[in-house]
Amino acid sequence: MPDRTPTRCGLAMMACLSAVLHTGCSDWVAVVTTAETIYFGGSILTMDGDTPQYAEALAVKDGKILFVGEKDEALVLTGETTRVVDLQGRALLPGFIDAHGHVWNAGFQKLAANLLPPPDGDGTDIAALVGILKEWAELNRAAISKVGWIIGFGYDDAQLAEERHPVAEELDLVSSDLPVLIIHQSGHLASMNHKALELSRITADTQDPSGGLIRRESDGRTPNGVLEEMAFFAPVFKLFADLDQEANEKIALAGVQAYIEFGFTTAQEGRATSTVTETWRKLGRDGRLAIDIAVYPDLQAETDFMLETGASRTYVNHVRVAGVKLSLDGSPQGKTAWLTKPYRVPPAGQSNDYVGYAAIPNSAELEALIDLAFENNWQVLAHCNGDAASDALIAAVTKAAEVHGNVDRRTVMVHAQTVREDQLDRMKELGVIPSFFSMHTFYWGDWHRDETLGRERAYRISPTASALQRDMRFTTHHDSPVALPSSAMILHTTVNRTSRSGDVIGPDQRVNAYIALKSITDWAAYQHFEEDSKGTLAVGKLADLVILDMDPLSVDPTTIRDIRVLETIKEGETVYTAPH
């Protein structure tokens, strides 16, 4: 009997034939000799499976992965025009997928005055904020003359020396003639100077809106400049609505740039207006988008738009309306998240039984919105920071599922910061995906321990290990512009959970680096209904790739935050290269 064991050449040919079958190409010789790019010589981590799997080489053609496997077999695909890339020990992974963020607002953050505290900015005290705003105003006179406002983003009262919000009188030091608006790092609060309050028609006679609060002077009437939730959203949405198309596009593209610098090949527009949605569509039609944008319009504000537009699983020019967004409460660090038990230290002027508040106080309204989304088969992303908000979402989803069914809807509880063990059980039953904001453990871990939640609840924020113990797919995110869209910090905080002071915020909720990577690749693709085309390195999937200077699985976990993105590749084309 002849020996039928395949030779090395035979294995290569079979690999090539497999590639042909997956790509649907009839001229297999052409495929064998015309791979556009072949990568080898580094840690090629496929992210396929429950444990780490590495390949020696990966080949790309026509924007898709042509081959994943051994180097010798990949090199059979080399042709005259093939680019052969030696990774020189660096790591190649699937491109990162934004499980929750606001890419347009990330652009706004990139262009506004940077008021972030260290390590991301210099916003250490109120005097520093005033100085940064003055300097920004001096350098951005053209933008101010067009928009009419001085705007800053990212101050955090938890990190300011004064441990409070700047008020109107202090922002008047920046300018008393021009309106000044500074947005809290959470994106749920803001402060204005007196000119901005005047232009926003916020006076002593203005009542607090539903789902919001205007903070007052000691007389209980005069606005002090600090606005919470809907009290802030209404004037800022009007400001954004007054931006022209050119400004909207500039902001959007700045957001894309911010994302690709951190290795993201799919971005999320996590609470879009119709104007921002149309901006993304126009940029797509004009061929100006480097990565995919999954848009989730605000269902409350854009119901008519969604009924007219609908949602789609297919990208057109790198854009799709993927579903809808609802916000059920505010932020724990801003003490506006809706809890079932009181805050450890209530905000000034609130009683000791203060638990925050609902963004949609009427439960019937919330149930109607979830029902509408289920009826139209729109995926729901629901912002729930507090466990009372999580209860409300679970109840509304349960009711809608009884009427419309609940097969493979992939409803997402965004943040799920204080979600309880019993709530995770119900979420698993309902197929609700938790998308955790583990970066809180670093940025606000100490604040949650000492100010907002107390030690017991703080140590359970973003309970990734609890979800994993239930065999739940979960994702993690940066919620940019609340934090910079840093993939490294997502991974670092999910693995280490170390606060600014060095305290480990919930050691039993830590997970390993491979699971953390799954949450921004494979499982994030699943959350977006894109697991057939993204999230792992497999033949036939999009060649959405990222090259890192180090393999996250091979470094000391405490140094993951230092990993740098060297190159971001979308469908085989390099869209970002790090400066040398």
Distance of CA 373 to the CA centre of its chain: 22
Strand partners, 414: 383, 435
- Of all residues in the chain, the percent with pLDDT exceeding 90 is 84
CATH class given for the domain over 245-535:
alpha beta
Instruction: For 153, list phi and psi in degrees, rounded to 5.
Output: -135, 140
Please tell me the predicted confidence (pLDDT) of residue 32.
53
Summarize the confidence of residues 392-406 as an average pLDDT: 98
Q: How many CB atoms lie within 10 A of CB 209?
A: 16
Q: What is the mean pLDDT of the chain?
A: 92
Distance from C-alpha of 221 to C-alpha of 38, rounded to nearest angstrom: 67
What is the location of CATH 3.10.310.70 in the chain?
122-241
Query: Residue 488 in contact with residue 520, Cβ under 8 Å?
Result: no
Maximum alpha-carbon separation in the chain:
100
Summarize the confidence of residues 107-120 as an average pLDDT: 90
Between helices 274-285 and 103-111, what is the axis angle to 10°? 90
| Of residues 444, 514, 436, 445, the one with CA closest to residue 476 | 436
Length of the chain: 580
Summarize the confidence of residues 370-394 as an average pLDDT: 98
- Of all residues in the chain, the percent with pLDDT exceeding 70 is 94
| DSSP for residue 521 | T
Distance from C-alpha of 297 to C-alpha of 271, rounded to nearest angstrom: 5
Between helices 363-375 and 387-404, what is the axis angle to 10°? 50
Residue 4 has pLDDT above 50, yes or no: no
Residue 30 has pLDDT above 80, yes or no: no
Please tell me the predicted confidence (pLDDT) of residue 12.
42
For domain 122-241, the question of CATH label 3.30.70.100 is answered with no
495-546 confidence digits (pLDDT tens) = 999 999 999 999 999 999 999 999 999 999 999 999 999 999 999 999 999 9
More confident residue, 402 or 240: 402
Query: Residue 120 in contact with residue 202, Cβ under 8 Å?
Result: no
Residue 3 has pLDDT above 70, yes or no: no
Summarize the confidence of residues 346-364 as an average pLDDT: 95
Instruction: Give 39's Cβ-side CA count (13 Å radius).
Output: 29
Tokens of 301: 């504000």
**Residue type present at position 465:** A
Strand partners, 379: 323
Distance from C-alpha of 119 to C-alpha of 131, rounded to nearest angstrom: 18
Distance from C-alpha of 405 to C-alpha of 250, rounded to nearest angstrom: 42
Please tell me the predicted confidence (pLDDT) of residue 362.
95
Instruction: For 424, list phi and psi in degrees, rounded to 5.
Output: -60, -40
Summarize the confidence of residues 15-22 as an average pLDDT: 45
Residue 29 has pLDDT above 90, yes or no: no
215-224 confidence digits (pLDDT tens) = 999 999 999 9
Residue 467 has pLDDT above 50, yes or no: yes
Please tell me the predicted confidence (pLDDT) of residue 185.
86
| Of residues 128, 145, 116, 199, the one with CA closest to residue 489 | 116
* Reported confidence tier of residue 145, pLDDT bands at 50, 70, 90: confident
160-202 confidence digits (pLDDT tens) = 999 999 999 999 999 999 999 999 988 889 999 999 999 999 9
Summarize the confidence of residues 264-273 as an average pLDDT: 97
Summarize the confidence of residues 402-424 as an average pLDDT: 98
Q: How many CB atoms lie within 10 A of CB 18?
A: 15
Residue 77 has pLDDT above 60, yes or no: yes
Between helices 274-285 and 245-260, what is the axis angle to 10°? 70
Place of tokens 């209904």: 529
Q: Record the pTM.
A: 0.88
Which regions of 140-218 does DSSP assign to beta strands (E)?
Answer: 150-155, 180-184, 189-192, 212-216
| DSSP for residue 102 | B
Residue 8 has pLDDT above 70, yes or no: no
Tokens of 123: 């916003």
What is the location of CATH 3.20.20.140 in the chain?
245-535
Query: Residue 230 in contact with residue 210, Cβ under 8 Å?
Result: yes
Residue 250 has pLDDT above 80, yes or no: yes
Please tell me the predicted confidence (pLDDT) of residue 234.
82
Write the DSSP assignment of 239-291 as a string of letters: HHHTS-HHHHHHHHHHHHHHHHTTTEEEEEEEEE-HHHHHHHHHHHHTT--SS
Summarize the confidence of residues 549-569 as an average pLDDT: 98
